Structure 1
Amino acid sequence: MIILILLLALALWGLIATIVELRRDGYRRTPTDWRRVAERDPLTAAESGIAYR
């Protein structure tokens, strides 16, 4: 019975620790920083080559 109580306590501790770490890991949706987005379309800025493959 003691082992079962210890196992349940360990599982509860793991569940609480997981929730706490998920809340403070910093992986959340962040708004786009439009200052870092390229001004031009990359396809229009691409250089054309001399030969075709």
Structure 2
Amino acid sequence: MILVIALFLLGVWALVATVIELRRDGYRRTPTDWSRIAAHEVLDRAEAGHAFR
């Protein structure tokens, strides 16, 4: 029974630590900067198919 309680506490600690680290890491959804994306002309010239290099 002690092992079950220890395992549960370890799981809770890991869950709390994960949430804290995810909030700290600075990862947030940011809008796309469309000025950094290549012009559509380049994409229009792309051909479908397989190429082996």
| TM-score w.r.t. length of structure 2 | 0.52
The whole-number CA distance in structure 2 between the counterparts of 1:7 and 1:32 is: 42
The reply on whether 1:8 has 2:8 as its aligned counterpart is: yes
Runs of at least 5 residues in structure 1 that lack an aligned partner in the other structure: 37-53
Residue 22 of structure 1 aligns with an amino acid whose one-letter code is L
* Identical amino acids, percent of aligned pairs: 64
4+ residue stretches of structure 1 with deviation over 6 A? none
Structure-1-length-normalised TM-score: 0.52
Number of residues of Structure 1 aligned to a counterpart in Structure 2: 43
Aligned-pair CA distance for 1:32: 6.3
**1:22 alignment counterpart:** 22
2:6 and 2:29 mapped to 1: Cα distance? 37
CA RMSD of aligned residues (A): 2.2
Which of 1 and 2 has greater Rg?
Answer: 1
